[in-house]
Amino acid sequence: MASIFPFALTALGLANTAKKGTVPPSVVWSFYAGAIILLLCCLLTVFRVKEYDPVTYAKYHGIEDNQEKKGIFAALKSAPKVFWTVSVVQFFCWMGFQYLWTYATGAIASNVWGVTNPTSAGYQAAGNWYGVMSAVQSIAAVIWALVLSKVNNNHHKASTPQV
């Protein structure tokens, strides 16, 4: 939701442009709001979520402790195929996200608003619009993850070793 803050703050009347070399107030206050929300969520997690000690966790999940301890390289060598598949997918996804986060605002500003000057109102409006699109994408990803978590996935359990 943090990516929608500049759009919302601009709609509330906070300036969305600034002199060259400075950051618009709508973006500055968005970072402050994001930092406060992040801090509150971290504090809530620290004080409200109970972690179990390893013995209780193992008992709850039916894990026996008679397994031989492996080093990191031995664990990687015996990792299931799905681990490596997900690793490759995540590697390329994160490369794509870095590219998107770096160039999306400039691309939208140039191709839709027809501006390339980062201090212009059009460029900042493009950045706000990218924030709205990022928020929609993030919300859709959360909803899709919730949908996928409900999908019966029994056909993978037989081939995936339980840890």
**Residue 43 lies inside a defined structural domain of this protein:** yes
22-56 pLDDT per residue, tens: 999 999 999 999 999 999 999 999 999 988 888 88
The verdict on residue 163 lying in a domain is: no
Please indicate, yes or no, if residue 104 is contained in any of the structural domains. Answer: yes
One-letter amino acid for residue 132 of the chain: V
pLDDT at 1: 77
Residue 7, domain member (yes or no): yes
Determine the structural domain holding residue 17 and report its residue range. Answer: 2-157
Is 138 among the domain residues? yes
Q: How many CB atoms lie within 10 A of CB 118?
A: 17
Is there a domain that residue 37 lies in? yes
Answer yes or no: is 153 within a domain. Answer: yes
Q: What is the pTM of this model?
A: 0.67
Q: How many domains does the chain have?
A: 1
161: Cβ contacts below 8 Å, ≥ 6 apart:
80
Positive or negative CA dihedral for 57, 63, 64, 66? Answer: negative
